[in-house]
Amino acid sequence: MIITPPYLKPGNMIGIVCPAGYVNPDKIQTCIHTLKDWGYSVKIGKTVGGSSSNYFSGTDEERLEDLQEMLDDDNVHAILCARGGYGTGRIIEQLGFKKFRQQPKWIIGYSDVTVLHSHIYANYNISTLHAPMASAFNDEGYKNEFILSLKNALEGKKIKYEIPVHEFNKKGEVVGEMVGGNLSLIAHLTGTSSDIKTKGRILFLEDVGEYLYNIDRMFYQLKRSGKLAKLAGLIIGGFSESKDTERPFGKSVYEIIRDVIEEYDYPVCYGFPVSHEKENYALKVGVGYKLKVGKNKVALEE
């Protein structure tokens, strides 16, 4: 049985941290103001605008300490990762989840935060929130339906998303726990302590900036490791900024995926709004959803 952290109430505190890549503090001001407008207080971690001069928001030790402090703080009710990038996998084995297990709180983010989603689900069966991060609030993003889906998820409102059909869809209706996130991370976590079980689950995948041949390779890795064989359903999100080689690969991203999973008969939807772009609905990892891939529309609801 999945453990769902308490939903937020006015006055609750949201901590903001950078467990991976660096973020300029100016880039999160709109996010801070919006969270306060929603009725929450905000605690800023030391890694936001961290002193590191390289790619990361701080040394491994600094990022570990900052995230650990937020996990252990009784006054923090949710943790929003300001950005992804790379780096969470360097500290995941050193994080302590003893207090977090006693007092679960929502972990929010996507991209590299997939490491946290997968690790927490695989080891502790606690739900987390794959959702927009701080920069998505900028340029009036805080007004759009995707940021509002984060607000609704944090408040515990039941969600139903509906999207148009795609020509590659496989029709069907299933119920299962939601797992997944960034394709690269899901593939790289195979065989680690953060590896997820997918049998009977609804798997969602998205990515950004990958070469087409690498997307093909990662899907074959998931296939060979058994992660695609016995799904309840599959949700394919955005694969933005995909790159081709000088000698073309010869297929689009969705054609690559379609051909890899051709033999499976579970429902599949393509083009779901979960991505590195603005179109990024909040999804609760580990929570049960009903996926209906129909002739005229696709519906996903809790």
Q: Based on the domain organization, do 121 and 239 belong to the same domain?
A: no
pLDDT digits (tens, 9 = 90+) for 3-19: 999 999 999 999 999 99
Which of 120, 154, 188 lies at the terminal end of a domain, its last residue?
154
**CA distance from start to end of the chain:** 15
Residue 74 sits in a domain whose CATH number is 3.40.50.10740
Would you say 58 and 51 are in contact if contact means Cβ atoms under 8 Å apart? yes
pLDDT digits (tens, 9 = 90+) for 172-187: 999 999 999 999 999 9
What the block records as the tokens of 128 is 């987390």
Number of domains into which the chain is organized: 2
What the block records as the tokens of 185 is 């991370």
Which of 154, 187, 221 lies at the terminal end of a domain, its last residue?
154
Please indicate, yes or no, if residue 7 is contained in any of the structural domains: no
Please indicate, yes or no, if residue 286 is contained in any of the structural domains: yes
Q: Based on the domain organization, do 150 and 202 belong to the same domain?
A: no
Please indicate, yes or no, if residue 1 is contained in any of the structural domains: no
Decide if 111 is catalytic.
Answer: yes
1-13 as b/e: b if 16+ CB within 10 A: eeeebeebeeebb
What the block records as the tokens of 215 is 């997307």
Catalytic residue among 57, 111, 127, 242: 111
Catalytic residue among 206, 210, 275, 279: 206
Catalytic residue among 127, 149, 276, 279: 276
Q: Based on the domain organization, do 200 and 221 belong to the same domain?
A: yes
Decide if 184 is catalytic.
Answer: no
pLDDT digits (tens, 9 = 90+) for 240-261: 999 999 999 999 999 999 999 9
Q: Tell me, what's the pLDDT at 50?
A: 81
pLDDT digits (tens, 9 = 90+) for 196-227: 999 999 999 999 999 999 999 999 999 999 99
Would you say 40 and 61 are in contact if contact means Cβ atoms under 8 Å apart? no
Please indicate, yes or no, if residue 134 is contained in any of the structural domains: yes
Q: Based on the domain organization, do 178 and 259 belong to the same domain?
A: yes
Whole-number average pLDDT of the chain = 97
- Nearest alpha carbon to residue 227 among 181, 170, 277: 181
Pairing of strands 128-130, 283-285: antiparallel
Q: Tell me, what's the pLDDT at 54?
A: 87
Q: Give residue 72's domain range.
A: 13-154
- Nearest alpha carbon to residue 104 among 17, 174, 8, 195: 8
Please indicate, yes or no, if residue 39 is contained in any of the structural domains: yes
Q: Based on the domain organization, do 228 and 260 belong to the same domain?
A: yes
Q: Based on the domain organization, do 168 and 280 belong to the same domain?
A: yes
